[in-house]
Structure 1
Amino acid sequence: MSSAAPVRIVSVNTNGVRAAFRKGMGEWLDRANVDILALQEVRAATSDLEGLFGPEWDILHDPATAKGRAGVALLSRSKASIHRVELGAAEFDSAGRWLEADYEVGGSIITVVSTYVHSGSVDTPKQVEKYTFLDAMTERMPQIAKHSEHAVILGDLNVGHRELDIRNWKGNVKNAGFLPQERAYFDRFFGAEGEEITGVDGSVGPGLGWVDVGRKWAGEVDGPYTWWSQRGRAFDTDTGWRLDYHVATPSLAATVVDYRVDRAASHAERWSDHAPVIVDYAI
């Protein structure tokens, strides 16, 4: 990748990559000019990715333990120098949910993570798994920042951090995805590094100092949303959630020259229930 132009890094939950290609993802990719692509909910085999994307892409894929579930991938125009999978304790199954890779961009190393956080469900084992995953993220993020000053965690994080991130936030304060305990993790992710941060749930913990690129770029506005329910007219009325993030180290966040959610022109033209989040980094 050349340093002559910004590197374009894109994240999208495909809601099944084979179905997404049948609905038009390939045509979108042809015109999107992507350098590094992070996918979540791949729900396919590596051979499927190879067939869909072709030999011009370097493909890293971590499928879920259960076939047809979750799955994360990183695709790039140049080969990754190293990649890592697994998150948290050895007994915790993170397969299909966390994939890190290092890329050389403009003479610098950038660490890119594609992650798919559990959706969770209140008062069920699924919610316990979600908190276990978020705990593991909290432990891993400082290690990544120490490894590389240019790092970004991409993906469907399945939490709306603030009231601005969900159109109908009042109706979701007791639902997974907007629970105060979940949101408090994000308070710490984005809190000043080393400072004691009081989360929205009243919990206290150290800030990690990472940057929510989408919120920093968009400012104090509703959204921009990245996911809309397939039910009803949620997309048409923009009744959405901002669940898909670029979470960057401060050094990388300082290089952002453009951020946008590539929202489809109409419901009929969607190829996923999520929209791609596109960021240009001038490294």
Structure 2
Amino acid sequence: MRIISLNANGIRSAATKGVFDWFGRQGADVVCLQETKAQEDQLSDPMFRPDGHHCFYRDATSKKGYSGVAIYAKREPDQVLTELGWDEFDNEGRYIEARFGKLSVVSLYFPSGSSGDERQQFKFRAMEWIAPVFEKWRKSGRDYVICGDWNIVRSEKDIKNWKSNQKNSGCLPEERAWFNGMIDGRGWVDSYRTLHPEGEDYTWWSNRGRARENNVGWRLDYQICTPSLRERLKACSIYRDERFSDHAPYTVDYVD
């Protein structure tokens, strides 16, 4: 089973850069997108309904052209969920879940606090509110893969400029403590770190300067899975050869 996650930074923009052609060559079973930045009625072109895939979108309703998540699946899901129960979060189009038997694949776009204190406080509220949701999922008996842009790095290995970013959103000590508590404390599995314990690869680069060229990046995009899937992790990769977004696609292969 192959799952790909990508923050598209605008699905229409990524499409013009060839992302759907690339997806078509990957043989993925599920593709999870974040930050689609579109309403579904703006995606009438057939390219947004790739052949052989079941396509599901959750748009932002509080602010059009903002946020948004999507899932493309080769197999038709048994169920698709788009709300977690907190309107302020749900209406920003940050969650969609496809269920296939015992397996749930989630496309999650966690809030960023980089635009200012108001959004950082919303991010903190989201962290507090969603933690019991994740715990419920972990204890549910289902296999979960949570794909997406979490807007948090875990450690010094996940960011090029560690010391200079300690006071910046995404690298704040309290954010990292929360995220690492979920993984190290609660048993959720960071697929990349499990497969590459000493890896120092990134999935996002600022558009400022020559950050991507110089690999001054952050690892913000993850596939976090339940402990039941740890032994099924086979391989993972971050694709940088083409630039579809300021993020790079993150692919994980799981043993069927």
TM range (shorter): over 0.9
1:36 to 30, 33, 40: 30
Task: Verify: 1:182 aligned to 2:175, yes or no.
Answer: yes
Q: Distance in 2 between matches of 1:133 and 1:83?
A: 22
Is the contact between residue 7 and residue 247 of structure 2 (CA under 8 Å) also seen in structure 1?
Answer: yes
Cα shift at 1:103 = 1.4
Cα shift at 1:123 = 6.1
Is the contact between residue 82 and residue 90 of structure 2 (CA under 8 Å) also seen in structure 1?
Answer: no
**Pairing of 1:31-180 with structure 2 (within 5 A):** 31-47=25-41, 48=43, 51-52=46-47, 53-65=49-61, 66-90=63-87, 92-104=89-101, 109-121=102-114, 124-180=117-173
Is the contact between residue 39 and residue 60 of structure 2 (CA under 8 Å) also seen in structure 1?
Answer: no
Q: Output the amino acid matched with 1:153.
A: I
Could you say which residue in structure 2 is the equivalent of 1:255?
Answer: 232
Q: Distance in 2 between matches of 1:279 and 1:215?
A: 12
Runs of 4+ in 1 over 6 A off after TM superposition: none
Q: Distance in 1 between matches of 2:220 and 2:149?
A: 6
C-alpha deviations, 1:109-153, integer Å up to 9, x for none? 211111111111386210111112222321111211233441111
C-alpha deviations, 1:50-85, integer Å up to 9, x for none? 632335211121101211100011110111111222
Q: Distance in 2 between matches of 1:165 and 1:132?
A: 24
TM-score by length of 1: 0.84
2:189 to 162, 187, 211: 211
1:234 to 202, 211, 217: 211
Ranges in structure 1 where 5+ consecutive residues have no aligned partner: 1-6, 192-206
Is the contact between residue 16 and residue 43 of structure 1 (CA under 8 Å) also seen in structure 2?
Answer: yes
Is the contact between residue 62 and residue 97 of structure 1 (CA under 8 Å) also seen in structure 2?
Answer: yes
Cα 1:62–1:215, aligned 2, differ >3 Å: closer, same or farther? Answer: same
Ranges in structure 2 where 5+ consecutive residues have no aligned partner: none
Match of 1:254, SS state, is helix
Cα shift at 1:186 = 1.0
Q: Output the amino acid matched with 2:73.
A: S
Identity %: 40
Cα 1:180–1:141, aligned 2, differ >3 Å: closer, same or farther? Answer: same
Match of 2:67, SS state, is coil
Query: How many pairs were matched up?
Result: 253
| CA RMSD of superposed structures (Å) | 1.7
Q: Distance in 2 between matches of 1:171 and 1:254?
A: 36
Q: Output the amino acid matched with 2:159.
A: I
Cα 1:77–1:50, aligned 2, differ >3 Å: closer, same or farther? Answer: farther
Could you say which residue in structure 2 is the equivalent of 1:279?
Answer: 252
Q: Output the amino acid matched with 1:81.
A: D
Cα shift at 1:90 = 4.4
Is the contact between residue 6 and residue 249 of structure 2 (CA under 8 Å) also seen in structure 1?
Answer: yes
TM-score by length of 2: 0.93
Cα shift at 1:95 = 3.3
Q: Distance in 1 between matches of 2:17 and 2:10?
A: 11
